[in-house]
Amino acid sequence: MERDARRPSGGGTPLSRHDDSRKCNLVPRHAFWCVQLTKGSTMDQGWFSKPVTVSVGLTGTIRHISNAQQAVELLTGQWRDAGSLQHGAALRACRRAMSGDVTTEAAREAFVGAAREAHVLVE
């Protein structure tokens, strides 16, 4: 991987060049350049392949949860079944997806299970 001393607009982490033949887990800037995220120093949001629609709060506000970070925020807020096994599993899976230890799809499925158990999943 080549290093380039240039910085992305607004400062930040140096840009790194990589070839397109391998999967890039970096934030894309365009075809060849990415802002490098150093594991451990910056957590990924863990984007889901498809948003999970839930109904939350007393008024049943519809929210579209698109990533693990949003799921963690919801799970640690006012969650109906906080403390249940499904809730705990979803919270762990989403946090681990943000750090890259599990796939975002595994985190999404765990979140869907917790939402279904709490009767907030909109299907």
Tell me the domain boundaries of the chain. Answer: 1-42, 47-117
The strand pairing partners of 121, in sequence order, are 54
Q: Residue 44 — very low, low, confident or very high, per pLDDT cuts 50/70/90?
A: confident
Amino acid code (one letter) for 29? R
State mean pLDDT over 6-30: 42
Q: Are the C-beta atoms of 44 and 98 separated by less than 8 Å? A: yes
Rounded Cα distance between 110 and 100, Å, is: 15
Amino acid code (one letter) for 112? V
Q: Residue 13 — very low, low, confident or very high, per pLDDT cuts 50/70/90?
A: very low
Q: Residue 43 — very low, low, confident or very high, per pLDDT cuts 50/70/90?
A: low
If residue 65 lies in a helix (H) or strand (E), which one and from where to where? strand 61-67
The strand pairing partners of 2, in sequence order, are 17
Across 14-46, the runs of DSSP E, i.e. the strands, are 15-17, 27-28, 33-35
Confidence check: pLDDT of 108 > 50: yes
Q: Is the pTM of this model over 0.85?
A: no
Q: Are the C-beta atoms of 66 and 48 separated by less than 8 Å? A: yes
Q: What does the longest C-alpha to C-alpha distance in the chain come to? A: 52
pLDDT digits (tens, 9 = 90+) for 47-85: 999 999 999 998 999 999 999 999 999 999 989 888 999
Question: Count of CB atoms within 10 A of residue 82's CB?
Answer: 14
